[in-house]
Every structure is written in structure tokens, then in C-alpha cells.
Amino acid sequence: MELGLPPFTAYGPDLPAGAAREVAQPGRGAVVSRLDITRNYSTGSESAARAFIRWLGARSISRMKRGQAGDESVWWANTRHMLKAYIKHLEMIKHGADLNDEMVSWLKNQGVVRVEIELKKRLLSELGLSDLANITDAKLEELYEQQIEPFKRADRSCDEDILDAIPSKSRVYAAAWLAGQDMREMASRATLFRHAKVLRECGIDILAPRNVERFPVKVRFIELEPLRVPDWYDLEARAA
């Protein structure tokens, strides 16, 4: 408004008389070209958050390219969308927050991981969500759950029967990766990439290092819980 621009308006199929003159495109309201949906999860501690990021880093999502920054963040992307997870307090510090800030300290102690999806113009158009009028909270929640489905699948990498579902020619490479073997010693680069393409469809990425301990360890489960706003957090003050 201060810049002399009209407010975002969601027009439905019945456009009020004269309304077309108020928007950039006749008959339409605000057009959405990108949409980010996020949710914060508590893992219980910073070490648990880092372990969760490492676990995610070994996962493969079909038709998406993966990137990773140590045990702080991991992401998958293509031309339609991006899926990413990162440790929230570390991200805030990178953007100038003070480590001693009450919120930063609380996020660190809670081991908060933010899981975020970025829906790009192409996907929004396919889903009919380019028009602001078509976007509802229910649709966004459903879409978010669909997008993060790979994160919720059980890790079957230790199941004895997982190899049975893998094509026989690639089975030996999957078994070697599960055992923690250095895949570079197995075959040429071209051969590994060929089998890696097949195994990604089975949820295994033999090009990613396998996190295998060579000594007995205690099994540790990390429970993700949706983060609740602390009682001392003032939403109105932060928004001001």
C-alpha cells in the first residue's frame, strides 16, 4: 500500500464488476510463483539433531539431486520442488543471531530441526495452486505430508530380506554398501554409477558413505516431535 500497489486479492470465478482494473492480470488476483511450507521438530538435543541430519543424508529420493553440508543440513532438489532439513539454531546464527540469545539457546537445547519444502512455479501450476484463491490450509497440510513422506519411511537397511527386493545384478553392490565396504574398491566409476541408478529406486544410495560402526554400540532411537511454542515466547512482540 505504501508503494502505491494494490493489495493482494484472491478473486474467485465470479469477478466483481470493475475488479479487473485493480489487478495486474484481468480476471485474476495474486499469482503465486513460489511457496515455502515449514515445520519445526524437536529431537531432544543438538547431538540428536546432528544424528538425524546424518541419517537423512544417507537417504535417496527418486529423481531429486541431493546436497549436504556436514551434519547441519541436507537437501534434495529438482525443477519442481526442493525438500530440505536443517538445524534451526545454527541457521539463525549464520544469519547474525547471537548464540546467547534466549531463543537460540532454547532451540539448541531442544535440538530443533526445521523440515521445509519449497514448491516452485512448475509444480504449483500442475497442482492448480498458482491462484491465491485456490490455496487453503487443508491443502497445504496435505501437500506437506505428501512431500515429506520419504522422511517418514522406516529405514530397512538392516533388514535381512531387503536384498531380496533388489535386482540380482545390483545385489552384490547393495550388500557391500550395507556392510560398510568402500565402494570405490568394488568396480569402476561408470559401473558404480550404473548400479547406483538402479539402487536409488530401492532407497539405497551406494555413492553416499555408509555410516557403519565397527564396534558394538547401543541402539538409539530419535523421536521427532512437532515443536510447541514456549510459554515465554511473545508472538506479537516478535512480529512487531
State the SS3 of the chain.
CCCCCCCCCCCCCCCCCCHHHHCCCCCCCCECCCEEEEEEEECCCHHHHHHHHHHHHCCCCCCCEEEEECCCEEEEECCCEEEEEEEHHHHHHHCCCCCCCHHHHHHHHHCEEEEEEEECHHHHHHHCCCEHHHCCHHHHHHHHHHHCHHHHCCCCCCCCCHHHHCCHHHHHHHHHHHCCCCHHHCCCHHHHHHHHHHHHCCCCCCCCCCCCCCCCCCCCCCCCEECCCCCCCCHHHHHC
* Domain map (residue ranges) of the chain: 32-155+219-239, 162-200
| Residue 103's pLDDT band (cuts 50, 70, 90) | very high
pLDDT at 170 over 70: yes
Q: What's the pLDDT at 21?
A: 40
Q: What's the pLDDT at 27?
A: 46
For the 32-155+219-239 domain, the top CATH level (class) is alpha beta
Q: What's the pLDDT at 208?
A: 80
- pLDDT digit string (tens) for 1-12? 677 777 766 655
Highest mean pLDDT pick, 81-90, 131-140, 192-201: 81-90
Q: pTM of this prediction? A: 0.63
